[in-house]
Structure 1
Amino acid sequence: MAWDTGPFDNDEAADFVADLAEAPDWRAVLLILDHVTKAGGYLEAPEAEMAVAASAIVAAGLGDGVVLPPDHQDLKAALGAPPEGAARLAKAALARVVGPASELDELWQEGDAHDAWLIHIAGLQKILSAFQ
């Protein structure tokens, strides 16, 4: 369930970040990004929500433009700098999330906040593009 349009403003993202905070490891972030970029067919919303959160974590690790959830401000320091190629992978995952056959994009289109959600995605893509 989403309560706002930000990358961490839904249950799947909140759970993903909480789990990552318990065991900070870039492999968990890269795994979901890789999965989403390689997913064929229909991309389910929970996977897409985790990919958006993972992309935001990469973006946060690269610069100061993304604010992590208040309970997990120390995650950036715990993870350290994102590995090489993480920005490219995150950007590709975001493209998949807003592309065709994405349940999350379809769900946002059903409401009034699709444009606001896309603005968040575009902001992440801009940060990630600077580090490719």
Structure 2
Amino acid sequence: MGTWDIGPFDNDTAADFAGDLDEAAVEERESMIRSALERAADPADHLDTPDAERAVAAAALVVAQHPDGEPACSNYGPSEPLPEFSADLRTLAVDALDHVVADLSELAELWGEAADGPKWRQDITRLRDVLAPPIPPREQALFEI
């Protein structure tokens, strides 16, 4: 892994993806984000590391545009402005992040063997929870009645 930290852009693949976004025409950037998320969102396929790393970076950019999200600050993330993304990318990002941490993910397997694996998994969960917040236990109990 050409990885130096747990952040969404803290690996060679995601940093290259950010560079590709910067070089692309503004009107192509959302479709690049969508493609990265779609490749990772299919749970029937084994997810290889580069596709997972691009998906995490793309999801972080979607999270950054969410009202409850935080900017995707990174020296290695995109520096050019991104268009306002379609709302449906949020659901696609959740699906992609779910697959990134699933059994068929090579990236999850690699992080599972790393000392910072639990911190990486927490960071993925943090991104996912912005897009699809967990139901608080008290409210969950109301649905189970």
In the alignment, residue 116 of structure 2 is paired with which amino acid? A
Does the 8 Å CA contact 1:13/1:49 hold for their aligned counterparts? Answer: yes
Is 1:108 aligned to residue 111 of structure 2?
A: yes
Is 1:65 aligned to residue 66 of structure 2?
A: no
Paired position in structure 2 for 1:37: 41
Q: Deviations over 1:55-109 (max 9, x none)?
A: 001111224513332365644xx22321120110001000000001110000001
Paired position in structure 1 for 2:121: 118
Does the 8 Å CA contact 2:19/2:78 hold for their aligned counterparts? Answer: no
Does the 8 Å CA contact 1:8/1:14 hold for their aligned counterparts? Answer: yes
Spell out the pairing of 1:2-81 with structure 2 (5 A cutoff): 2-23=3-24, 24=26, 25-38=29-42, 40-63=44-67, 64-70=69-75, 72=77, 74-75=79-80, 78-81=81-84
Is 1:99 aligned to residue 90 of structure 2?
A: no
Which has the higher mean CA deviation after the structures are superposed, 64-73 or 116-125? 64-73
| Structure of higher CA gyration radius | 2
Does the 8 Å CA contact 1:61/1:80 hold for their aligned counterparts? Answer: no
Q: Distance in 1 between matches of 2:51 and 2:76?
A: 22
Structure 2 unaligned runs (5+)? 134-145
TM-score, reference length from structure 2: 0.80
Question: How many residues get paired?
Answer: 128
In the alignment, residue 11 of structure 2 is paired with which amino acid? N
How far did residue 119 of structure 1 move? 1.1
Higher helix share: 1
Give the secondary structure class of the aligned counterpart of 1:55.
helix
Q: Distance in 2 between matches of 1:11 and 1:73?
A: 13
Give the CA RMSD over aligned residues: 1.7
How far did residue 21 of structure 1 move? 1.2
Is 1:83 aligned to residue 86 of structure 2?
A: yes
Does the 8 Å CA contact 1:108/1:117 hold for their aligned counterparts? Answer: yes
TM-score, reference length from structure 1: 0.88
Q: Distance in 2 between matches of 1:41 and 1:72?
A: 27
